Amino acid sequence: MNKKFFLVMVIVVGAIVGLWSWTLVAPNNSISIGGSASVQPLLKKLTDKYKTEDGKKFVYSATGSGAGVTNVKEGVYEIGFISKDIGDNDFTPLPINENKTLFKDLTEENINDKHWYSNTLASTQGTEETYRSIEFARDSIVFVYNDQGTGFDKFLKDSNLEFVFEVNDEGKFDQKDNAQGKNINRSYKILNEIYNNDSQNDLITWNRLAILIAENFSEEGTKEQNIKLAQQVSSTAKVTPYSSTSGSGTRTSFTNLTGINPGNAVKEYGANGTIYSQIEKSPGSIGFVSMLYGSANSSRVKSVKIKQGDTTWDPSKDDSEKLSSYPLTRPFIAIYKYDTNNKDLNSILDFLFWMAASPEVKNLYSSVGLTQLVQPTKK
């Protein structure tokens, strides 16, 4: 036998045996969970810390919120994680919301009992084959941009104007200014011009963005002067919009909060961290990311201010205490199927209760800019 052929066969057989061995071993030593890429930074910390009583590890795959839903339904994931509201298209009927049922009257004694959740469900009638959900945190959507070389920053300073979006009491963009719907809301108008384009040729320039701000946000008697200042901003540099991929939790939440569907001209990436790094190295770009990245300290990337009533937030400058009331938010939700035929069911339930309610992981939430949502409501 040719020596070269023999070596190739050894490598091929070795690879097949290795794959076969991994297929046998991995399922026995791990529990597969996954979904939203936005949830991954927190879940990495949680799964690194946690191990089941029988020594198994939870393995998280960042495949997107859409896959989080689909793979729970198909039994690929034991727990699916999403970073958006659960829609009728995701589940019919909707999963049972534990925040409004079993967790509604949690006590400290309940939380200190690591098996409380699994034991409670085992003694509750009508749980078999139900899908159940836990909202364990709320994340924020932050608009960030890189205006290097455009003259936009100078325009803001000279005009004493701010790059700010206004939201209503529900933390959403109004599309119209009044109930009669006669005027398009100024914040919606500007964001729509940035994102609702299907061709790169139709993207607005930083000059156009500055003029829009001057026209819509100038105080009486200053508009004409501010428009002149805006005209000094680059008329060639495009405002290049970035977005997470279609179907992702971040993108779905963006549309739910703003009423805008990004056009085909947006640059798409799968993870918030990737979007942020692309914006950081791409002058003229703008995008939306999680608070973990939106509040980062960068010499190149700035955050768009958000105003609700008389309060204004600046994620890149405000402290965590003020940002705790930031209004543009979306949920982090875990979804699973209660199936007593699943040998790992109690391990899954104990992990979920620990990650959602245990005080020992509070610092893990805060380390990624989140607040643990499940708290005791009674002593």
3-class secondary-structure state, position 307: strand
| pLDDT value of position 379 | 62
More confident residue, 15 or 238: 238
Q: Which amino acid is at 373?
A: L
Q: Interior CA angle at 234 toward 231 and 237, to 5°?
A: 140
CA distance 290 to 141: 5
| Cis peptide, bond prior to residue 93, ω within 30 of zero | yes
Task: Kindly give, in sequence order, each residue whose CB lies less than 8 Å from that of residue 1, ignoring residues fewer than 6 positions away.
Answer: none
* 3 pLDDT more than 60: no
pLDDT at 29: 84
pLDDT for 5: 45
Q: How far, in Å, CA of 41 to CA of 43, rounded?
A: 6
**CA–CA separation, 326 vs 263, rounded Å?**
27
Give the pLDDT score at 296. Answer: 86
Structure confidence at residue 21 (pLDDT): 33
Compute the distance between CA of residue 275 and CA of residue 244 in angstroms, rounded to an integer: 7
Of residues 256 and 2, more confidence is placed in 256
How many beta carbons lie within 10 A of that of residue 189, not counting itself? Answer: 17
In the prediction, which pLDDT does 4 show?
43
Q: pLDDT at position 182, please?
A: 62
> Is the pLDDT at 12 greater than 70, yes or no?
no
Q: State percent of the chain over pLDDT 70.
A: 91
HEC profile for 363-377? Answer: HHHHHCCCCECCCCC
- Quick one: pLDDT band at residue 2, thresholds 50, 70, 90? low
Using pLDDT thresholds of 50, 70 and 90, give the confidence band for residue 75: very high
pLDDT for 180 equals 55
Res 20 pLDDT > 50: no
Q: What is the pLDDT of residue 10?
A: 40
Whether residue 6 has pLDDT greater than 90 = no
Q: Phi, psi (5° rounding) for residue 186?
A: -65, -35
**Burial class, 130, CB count within 10 angstroms (exposed 0-12 / middle 13-18 / buried 19+):** middle
Q: What would the 3-class secondary structure string for 185-233 be? A: CHHHHHHHHHHCCCCHHHCCEHHHHHHHHHHHHCCCCCHHHHHHHHCCC
What does R_g of the chain's alpha carbons equal in angstroms?
A: 24
As a whole number, mean pLDDT of residues 2-31 equals: 46
In this structure, of 55-59, 264-268, 275-279, 293-297, the range with the lowest mean pLDDT score is 293-297
Domains of the chain: 26-138+331-367 (3.40.190.10), 140-329 (3.40.190.10)
Separation between Cα atoms, residue 176 and residue 214, nearest integer Å:
19
pLDDT tens across 185-238, in order?
A: 999 999 999 999 999 999 999 999 999 999 999 999 999 999 999 999 999 999
pLDDT tens column, 88-117: 999 999 999 999 999 999 999 999 999 999
pLDDT tens digits for range 23-32: 333 456 899 9
Residue-averaged pLDDT of the chain: 91
pLDDT at 35 > cutoff 70 = yes
Helices assigned H by DSSP within the chain: 3-29, 40-49, 65-73, 108-112, 116-122, 152-159, 186-195, 206-217, 223-230, 249-258, 272-280, 291-294, 320-323, 345-357, 362-367
